[in-house]
Amino acid sequence: MIKPDGVKRRLVGEIVARIERKGLNIVSMKMVKIDRNTAEKLYEEHKGKSFFNELVSYITSGPVVCMVIEGDEAVKVMRTLIGSTDPKEASPGTIRGDLAMSKGENVIHASDAEEKAKKEMSLFFSQNELTG
Protein backbone atom coordinates (compact mmCIF):
# COMPACT_ATOMS: atom_id res chain seq x y z
CA MET A 1 0.00 0.00 0.00
CA ILE A 2 1.32 3.40 -0.94
CA LYS A 3 0.50 5.58 2.06
CA PRO A 4 -1.02 9.08 2.01
CA ASP A 5 2.37 10.84 1.97
CA GLY A 6 3.49 8.78 -1.03
CA VAL A 7 0.31 9.62 -2.93
CA LYS A 8 0.47 13.31 -1.96
CA ARG A 9 4.13 13.53 -3.05
CA ARG A 10 3.25 11.87 -6.40
CA LEU A 11 5.50 8.85 -5.86
CA VAL A 12 2.98 6.25 -7.04
CA GLY A 13 4.58 5.78 -10.48
CA GLU A 14 8.10 5.56 -9.03
CA ILE A 15 7.06 2.95 -6.46
CA VAL A 16 5.05 0.89 -8.95
CA ALA A 17 8.00 0.96 -11.36
CA ARG A 18 10.38 -0.32 -8.66
CA ILE A 19 8.02 -3.19 -7.82
CA GLU A 20 7.68 -4.15 -11.48
CA ARG A 21 11.41 -3.83 -12.19
CA LYS A 22 12.00 -6.26 -9.32
CA GLY A 23 9.99 -8.81 -11.29
CA LEU A 24 6.92 -8.88 -9.05
CA ASN A 25 3.42 -8.85 -10.54
CA ILE A 26 0.79 -6.34 -9.47
CA VAL A 27 -2.37 -8.39 -9.92
CA SER A 28 -4.77 -5.78 -8.55
CA MET A 29 -4.47 -2.11 -7.66
CA LYS A 30 -6.81 0.70 -6.66
CA MET A 31 -6.82 4.08 -4.94
CA VAL A 32 -9.09 4.36 -1.89
CA LYS A 33 -9.71 6.60 1.08
CA ILE A 34 -9.65 4.32 4.12
CA ASP A 35 -12.37 4.82 6.72
CA ARG A 36 -11.62 4.68 10.44
CA ASN A 37 -13.22 1.25 10.95
CA THR A 38 -11.07 -0.34 8.22
CA ALA A 39 -7.96 1.43 9.50
CA GLU A 40 -8.56 0.03 12.99
CA LYS A 41 -8.82 -3.47 11.51
CA LEU A 42 -5.63 -2.91 9.52
CA TYR A 43 -3.70 -1.89 12.63
CA GLU A 44 -5.55 -4.02 15.22
CA GLU A 45 -2.30 -5.66 16.39
CA HIS A 46 -1.27 -2.21 17.70
CA LYS A 47 -4.54 -1.47 19.50
CA GLY A 48 -3.82 -0.27 23.03
CA LYS A 49 -0.35 0.99 22.14
CA SER A 50 0.46 4.68 22.52
CA PHE A 51 0.82 5.24 18.76
CA PHE A 52 -2.37 3.42 17.64
CA ASN A 53 -4.52 6.54 17.21
CA GLU A 54 -1.71 8.30 15.36
CA LEU A 55 -1.44 5.36 12.92
CA VAL A 56 -5.19 5.35 12.30
CA SER A 57 -5.35 9.14 11.86
CA TYR A 58 -2.45 9.13 9.44
CA ILE A 59 -3.64 6.28 7.21
CA THR A 60 -7.12 7.88 6.96
CA SER A 61 -5.73 11.36 6.22
CA GLY A 62 -5.71 10.97 2.44
CA PRO A 63 -5.99 8.48 -0.39
CA VAL A 64 -3.80 5.38 -0.51
CA VAL A 65 -3.00 3.00 -3.35
CA CYS A 66 -3.70 -0.60 -2.41
CA MET A 67 -1.99 -3.36 -4.36
CA VAL A 68 -1.96 -7.13 -4.45
CA ILE A 69 1.48 -8.31 -5.46
CA GLU A 70 2.50 -11.82 -6.47
CA GLY A 71 5.82 -13.44 -7.20
CA ASP A 72 8.34 -15.89 -5.84
CA GLU A 73 8.50 -15.18 -2.08
CA ALA A 74 6.62 -11.90 -2.69
CA VAL A 75 6.28 -11.00 1.02
CA LYS A 76 10.00 -11.42 1.69
CA VAL A 77 11.00 -9.65 -1.52
CA MET A 78 8.67 -6.72 -0.83
CA ARG A 79 9.94 -6.32 2.74
CA THR A 80 13.51 -6.15 1.41
CA LEU A 81 12.50 -3.77 -1.38
CA ILE A 82 10.77 -1.31 0.96
CA GLY A 83 13.47 -1.22 3.65
CA SER A 84 13.36 -0.56 7.39
CA THR A 85 10.37 1.21 8.95
CA ASP A 86 12.56 4.12 9.98
CA PRO A 87 14.00 5.68 6.81
CA LYS A 88 17.12 6.75 8.73
CA GLU A 89 17.87 3.03 9.12
CA ALA A 90 16.71 1.97 5.65
CA SER A 91 19.41 1.12 3.15
CA PRO A 92 19.97 3.35 0.13
CA GLY A 93 18.23 1.82 -2.87
CA THR A 94 15.20 0.74 -0.84
CA ILE A 95 11.91 2.58 -1.27
CA ARG A 96 12.01 4.00 2.25
CA GLY A 97 15.75 4.63 2.14
CA ASP A 98 15.35 6.73 -0.99
CA LEU A 99 11.87 8.24 -0.65
CA ALA A 100 10.55 8.27 2.94
CA MET A 101 10.79 11.42 5.05
CA SER A 102 10.17 10.09 8.57
CA LYS A 103 9.22 6.99 10.55
CA GLY A 104 5.65 8.28 10.76
CA GLU A 105 5.39 9.12 7.07
CA ASN A 106 7.33 6.32 5.45
CA VAL A 107 5.61 6.12 2.05
CA ILE A 108 4.65 2.44 1.90
CA HIS A 109 3.17 -0.44 3.89
CA ALA A 110 3.74 -4.11 3.15
CA SER A 111 2.52 -7.17 5.00
CA ASP A 112 5.17 -8.99 7.00
CA ALA A 113 3.69 -12.49 6.61
CA GLU A 114 1.60 -14.36 4.05
CA GLU A 115 -1.29 -14.88 6.49
CA LYS A 116 -1.32 -11.17 7.28
CA ALA A 117 -1.22 -10.34 3.57
CA LYS A 118 -4.35 -12.44 2.98
CA LYS A 119 -6.15 -10.68 5.83
CA GLU A 120 -5.13 -7.25 4.56
CA MET A 121 -6.11 -8.12 0.98
CA SER A 122 -9.60 -9.01 2.21
CA LEU A 123 -9.94 -5.55 3.80
CA PHE A 124 -9.46 -3.80 0.46
CA PHE A 125 -10.30 -6.22 -2.36
CA SER A 126 -13.25 -8.45 -3.13
CA GLN A 127 -12.53 -11.84 -4.68
CA ASN A 128 -13.64 -10.69 -8.15
CA GLU A 129 -11.14 -7.79 -8.01
CA LEU A 130 -8.19 -10.16 -7.83
CA THR A 131 -6.94 -10.81 -11.35
CA GLY A 132 -4.00 -13.10 -10.58
Q: What is the DSSP track for 9-45? A: TT-HHHHHHHHHHTT-EEEEEEEE---HHHHHHHTGG
**DSSP label at 49?**
S
Give the C-alpha separation, 1 to 12, whole Å.
10
Q: Is 3 annotated as a binding residue?
A: yes
Buried/exposed 50-77: b ≥16 CB within 10 Å, e otherwise? eebeebbebbbbebbbbbbbebeebbeb
Q: Is 36 annotated as a binding residue?
A: no
Annotated catalytic residue, options 78, 83, 99, 109 = 109
User: Is 46 a residue of the active site?
Assistant: no
Q: Is 18 annotated as a binding residue?
A: no
Q: Is 79 annotated as a binding residue?
A: yes
Give the C-alpha separation, 36 to 42, whole Å.
10
Catalytic residues: 109
Give the residue numbers of the binding site: 3, 51, 79, 85, 96, 106
Give the residue numbers of the binding site for ATP: 3, 51, 79, 85, 96, 106
